[in-house]
Structure 1
Amino acid sequence: MRDESQINLITWASLQNINVYINQNNILSDININLNYGENILILGPNGSGKSTFLKLLNRSIYPIKSDKSSLKLFNKENINIWDLRKKIGFLFKEMEQRVNNGVKLYDVISSGFSGTFNSRYTNILSEIQKNKIHNLINEWDLNDIVYKDFQSLSDGQKRRALLARALVYEPNILVLDEPFCNLDIKSNFILNQNLNKLINRSVNIIYVTHNLESILPKTNRVVLIKEGKILNDGSPCELINTKKLSDLFDISIKVIEHEGYWRMIPLNN
């Protein structure tokens, strides 16, 4: 487990004795964790382990069971205005792509970062400052050629870049990403990995979920292993991304290989 007493950390999220039930099913149990500035955090675990639910606690779309012993604070506040939260944290969740109706342009998707609604009606009332921010994001994420195409006609990689641009309209210091590399081909995966590392170099902190070890960001400096709704382990990549820990986590015999900050796994015969 991590020894946080040895380093000077500033916490932006504190979760103490958190339990989450959905449809009477216990999804997360006894979650105790602090998330700190300066950390790029990988959440790793099997399907159904509660990873996405954990991230949704941070965007306040899911709430824990309230008790005298529980506490969930974001930026030292138990109650935070959702718009204030969006200015501090950019979010990307898998289901966002399905929420965009046919006919909505990529530009409208990015501009919805300011309004929260995928609708061109709000695009028409953007301020000049907001338009400039969108223009800069379009350039940065190489979206110029497709900016007025229907969002649902785009490739998975293009959609992902558009939604990440949307998450950055308020220039947040923190990004929360649920499986950002899901369904991407090799080239799109590589480009997204590079772009996220550029953001890290600009002091953006990233907390993300991925199932693909090859998609782990080289600048990841903290790993949280979740299994059956509980935090199984919490430490550095060198401590936790290894053959023993991940074989136990996924209940399968694998060999984990690291090369210059990049990872892969190979199945082993039982």
Structure 2
Amino acid sequence: MSDLSQKDVINWASFKNINVYINEKKVLSDININFHYGENILILGPNGSGKSTLLKLLNRSIYPIATNHSSFKLFNKENINIWDIRKKVGFLFREMEQRIDNGVNLYDVISSGFSGIFNSRYSSLLSEREKVKINNLIKEWELNNIINNEFQSLSDGQKRRALIARAIVYEPNILVLDEPFSNLDIKSNLILNHNINKLINQSVNIIYVTHNLECILPKTNRVILIKEGKIINDGSPYELINTKIISELFDIQVKVIEQEGYWRMVPLNN
């Protein structure tokens, strides 16, 4: 992973007056925001607020409504090839798990990061350099003992680690994660948290979505709050993750507690 210390004020994504409709329903409204190198960004909000939709704009699986007053740029380009994006940005979306057929083994899932296709026939066509990269990822993400297992037989934590390994085969400097910690038990959560922090230490910028304060990565340095399709606040964790703001965001009275970079909330009696 390359050192991004010289790029910490450069935009890699720029949204200007962005609106998104899905099935004629407006799901994102008037999005004006920039993402910069050097940031680890949390997008936080209730279920159905538009968090995942915002991320899907980044991998071009969803497109905004184009107007004379709107623009959406990735790496300073309004038009960019999807494979060029994948070499710069790794993606993990939860629905990927459902797209993988029964019978596909873990090795073929990781190798599909190069081909885009979950099939052993394509794994056999990998270059020696690509095979070395996959073997290194298998070791780094502690998948050696299950590499030939069927993907759909694995635990949620193992699946998540495999799909992140798949997302970083091109050694991207940015990793986009949609609810990476959902449905994980305590051990799997801690292992994944540790591995993602290792990527951050290698200068990979993380942008991720959650609605659970306990899943906030300690090295998060920017928080974007989204509700009902609109960005309602943008700042540092210590500015925005507090009792008042979180209670208003989720429409519930809670107390927010932080300890050594980890967060949780507890309900307050009315």
**TM-score category, normalised to shorter length:** over 0.9
Q: Distance in 1 between matches of 2:155 and 2:69?
A: 46
Q: Deviations over 1:232-265 (max 9, x none)?
A: 1000000000000110000000000000100000
SS at match of 2:217: coil
Q: Distance in 2 between matches of 1:110 and 1:40?
A: 24
Q: Distance in 2 between matches of 1:253 and 1:121?
A: 54
Question: Given the two structures, how large is their TM-score scaled by the length of structure 2?
Answer: 0.97
RMSD: 0.9
- 5 Å-filtered alignment, 1:1-270, equals 9-270=9-270
Q: Distance in 2 between matches of 1:190 and 1:8?
A: 28
Q: Verify the 8 A CA contact 2:21 2:65 in the aligned structure 1.
A: yes
* Cα distance, 1:211 vs structure 2: 2.0
Q: Deviations over 1:10-42 (max 9, x none)?
A: 100000000000000000000000000000000
What stretches of structure 2 of length at least 5 have no aligned partner? Answer: 1-6
Distance 1:184 1:8, change over 3 A: closer
* Cα distance, 1:8 vs structure 2: 6.3
Partner of 2:4: none
Amino acid at match of 2:114: F
* Cα distance, 1:214 vs structure 2: 1.3
SS at match of 2:98: helix
The alignment of Structure 1 onto Structure 2 pairs a total of residues equal to: 264
Q: Distance in 2 between matches of 1:182 and 1:99?
A: 18
SS at match of 2:68: coil
* Cα distance, 1:9 vs structure 2: 1.1
Q: Distance in 2 between matches of 1:138 and 1:200?
A: 18
* Cα distance, 1:113 vs structure 2: 0.3
* Cα distance, 1:179 vs structure 2: 0.2
* Cα distance, 1:44 vs structure 2: 0.3
Q: Distance in 2 between matches of 1:144 and 1:209?
A: 28
Q: Distance in 2 between matches of 1:118 and 1:15?
A: 32
Q: Distance in 2 between matches of 1:140 and 1:8?
A: 27
Runs of 4+ in 1 over 2 A off after TM superposition: none
Amino acid at match of 1:51: K
Q: Verify the 8 A CA contact 2:134 2:169 in the aligned structure 1.
A: yes
Question: Given the two structures, how large is their TM-score scaled by the length of structure 1?
Answer: 0.97
SS at match of 1:231: strand
Amino acid at match of 2:117: T
* Cα distance, 1:213 vs structure 2: 1.1
Q: Distance in 1 between matches of 2:11 and 2:31?
A: 16
